[in-house]
Amino acid sequence: MELIQLPICGALQAHISKALYIKQQTENSVRFKLVPRFYGLWAFTLEASDPMTINFDNGKLHNTAPGNIYSGGSGYVPIDFEIPCKTEWILVLPKPHSTALFWREDANHFANTMYCVTDMNKNLRILNDKINSFKLVSAKWEAIQEYLLQKIGYAPTNNINYVNSALSMMFKYSGMVDIREIAKNSCTCDRNLRDSFQQHVGFSPKKFASMVRFNTLVNQCLKQPISKSISETSAQFGYYDLSHLNKDFLRFTGLSAEKFLLQDQGINQLILE
C-alpha cells in the first residue's frame, strides 16, 4: 500500500488531525474491524478505486464508488471494513470537534454513520468536479483545502473551548479521568460540558473517555513485545480482569481481544497514531 501524508495548511491545523493519500494495488482483499473513531472522516474516492462495501453503523451497509465524496461521523459502534484490490483515496480526518463546525449542525446527527455527500449541494458538486478533473494529487488536495478553509477556517464558538480543554485532559491521562474533575478544570459544569460534547463531538464525555482508554490500550498492545501479556497491559488501564476487557472489545469491535489482535490492522494503525 502506498501511503503519503499530505501537508495541512496552517489555517486548517486546528481542525484537521491528518490528511492521507492512499493507493493500493494488490490481488488480495483485506478485511478487518476498526477501533472506535475519535475523528470523523471525509473520504474522496479517486479514479483508480474499486467499489467497496462498508458495514459502518450496526449492520447498515454502505456502498462506495470511485469519483465521489463521503462524510462519516466519529463513533464507537463496530465497523467491518474491507479494502478491495484497487484503492485510491484522499482521506481527511478532522479533529473531534470539527464535524459540527463543518456542517454547522450538532455532531450527534453524524456520529456512528456515513453519507455520500457528492450531490448534497452545488459547492460539493463543484468540488467533486475539480477533484476529478485534476491529474496530480497535489492539485486535488489544494482544491479540497480551499473548500475546507471556506467551511471551517474561522474563529470557533465559545463553548468549544470547554470541549477542547476536556479532550486535552482525556488524551493526556489515556481516558482514565473523572468527568466532574474535567468539567471543573475546563471552567464549566458537568451539564454544560455534556451538552457541549453532544454538540461538537457527537456523544457524551464519559463515552469519549472510554474510547480514549480503549484505543490507548489497543495501541500499546500492538506495539509491545509478544512476551508481555494482555492481562498485564489491561491492568494499567483500569480493567479488573480479562472478562472486563473483553466486554469493551466486544462492545467496540465485535470481536474478543484475542481475535481482534490477530487480525490485519490496516487503517487502525493510522487511527491509533
CB atoms within 10 A of CB 239: 21
Q: What would the mean pLDDT of 188-200 be, rounded to a whole number? A: 91
Q: How confident is the model at residue 58 (pLDDT cuts 50, 70, 90)?
A: low
CA 129 to chain centre: 25
Task: Please check whether residue 72 is in contact with residue 114, taking contact to mean a CB–CB distance below 8 angstroms.
Answer: yes
C-alpha span between 108 and 99 (Å, rounded): 9
Angle at 86 between CA 99 and CA 90, to 5 degrees: 25
**Cα 257 to the center of its chain, rounded Å:** 21
Tell me, yes or no, if the two domains 2-152 and 162-272 fold the same way.
no
Q: What percent of the chain has pLDDT over 90?
A: 53
- pLDDT, mean of residues 20-34: 83
Please state which CATH number belongs to domain 162-272: 1.10.10.60
At residue 66, φ and ψ (nearest 5 deg) are: -65, 150
Fold of 2-152: Jelly Rolls (2.60.120)
Contact by Cβ (8 Å): 261, 230: yes
Alpha-helical segments (H) within the chain: 98-103, 122-133, 137-152, 160-172, 179-185, 190-200, 205-223, 230-236, 242-253, 257-262, 268-272
pLDDT at 226: 67
Residue 60 pLDDT exceeds 80 = no
Give the pLDDT band (50/70/90) at residue 21: very high
78-137 confidence digits (pLDDT tens):
888 877 778 899 999 999 988 888 888 899 988 888 889 999 999 999 999 999 999 999
Q: How many CA atoms lie within 13 A of 268 on its CB side?
A: 31
Is residue 163 classed exposed, middle or buried when 0-12, 13-18 and 19+ CB atoms within 10 A define those classes?
A: buried
CA–CA–CA angle 114, 130, 47 (5° rounding):
65
Q: What is the mean pLDDT of residues 142-153?
A: 91
Answer yes or no: are the C-beta atoms of 203 and 76 closer than 8 Å.
yes
* Dihedral sign for Cα atoms in the order 106, 107, 108, 109: positive
* Alpha carbons 93 and 99: distance in angstroms, whole number: 10
Grid cell listed for 64: 462506495
* Block residue for cell numbers 463521503: 70
Encode pLDDT of 236-265 as tens digits. Answer: 898 988 889 999 999 999 999 989 999 888
Q: With contact defined as beta carbons under 8 Å apart, do 72 and 102 qualify?
A: no
Domain ranges across the chain: 2-152, 162-272
Predicted confidence at residue 86, as pLDDT, reads 85
